[in-house]
Amino acid sequence: MFKNVISKKAIIYPLLMLSAMWFGYFLQMQGFFGSCFGAIIPLVPEGLLGIFTSPLLHGNIDHIIGNSIPIAALMFLLYQFYPMVANKVFITGWIATGFLVWLLPPIDIMTGEYMYTCTIGASGVVYVLAFFLFFSGVFKWNTKLLTISMLVVLYYGSLVWGMLPEELFYNMQEPSKISWQAHLSGALVGSIIAFIFKNVGEKKKRFIWEFPNYYSEKDDKLWQEYKENHPDDFLELPYKKRDDIWDHLDELRRK
């Protein structure tokens, strides 16, 4: 029974992503991705490679651990509750977010100066998944999917602050190394994908009693059981007298 409840893809795909992330980090430690190779470098042709590789690279052990936990949790929810569109959401979100980050000019908001930045990490994908799961539940207005939305808000609601430059909240001696551009891009892409797929997959279930002006005695089981168990109550019923057209003859003549 447990196997029928939990989707295999909801277990396998998060594990594959985590394996790829940790393997990428291992290669970094071995010197295979030195300097900015494999990172997104905005508006620089060499940085286009990072659209595909940057989510698999991380700056340090804390960075990859911090992204591994939400990636595992959010990918599980995606593949468990949105199996029909999960692959499209994940792949499209990955590429679209990376491309948007590449398009955004890396400008220091405090000084207005152009910066040569190298963006790595899976946080953009994390934002795609979190915002897709939240807004998809809202758009579909399905009880089960809304519950997933509330879980995302409960555990990852603080992600909203990551879409703003860290310099707005702290006095920093040097520019922040956290890419708010990647977070903002992921949030926008995830929200847009949720809207695009709002009519695909599981929707809000409408029960028969939710339709206006609906009632059928045959579908009312309690009423049918009562009639079967109390037949004496239905021997004499105040039926409405059938209209006879001849009773209205004088009225018709006056017209």
Q: What is the mean pLDDT of each run of 10 residues along the chain (255 residues)?
A: 71 96 94 86 92 94 93 94 94 96 80 79 94 90 81 78 75 72 93 90 58 61 77 65 63 64
| pLDDT attached to residue 159 | 81
* Domain extent at residue 242: 208-254
**Of 151, 171, 197, the domain-final residue:** 197
Residues 118 and 231 in one domain: no
Residues 173 and 112 in one domain: yes
| pLDDT attached to residue 41 | 92
| pLDDT attached to residue 1 | 36
Residues 186 and 228 in one domain: no
SS3 per-residue string spanning the chain? CHHHHCCHHHHHHHHHHHHHHHHHHHHHHCCCCCCCCCCECCCCHHHHHHHHHHHHCCCCHHHHHHHHHHHHHHHHHHHHHCCCCHHHHHHHHHHHHHHHHHHCCCECCCCCCECCCCECCCHHHHHHHHHHHHHHHHHHCCHHHHHHHHHHHHHHHHHHHHHCCHHHCCCCCCCCCCCHHHHHHHHHHHHHHHHHCCCCCCCCCCCHHHCCCCCCHHHCHHHHHHHHHCHHHHCCCCCCCCCCHHHHHHHHHHC
Domains identified in the chain, total number: 2
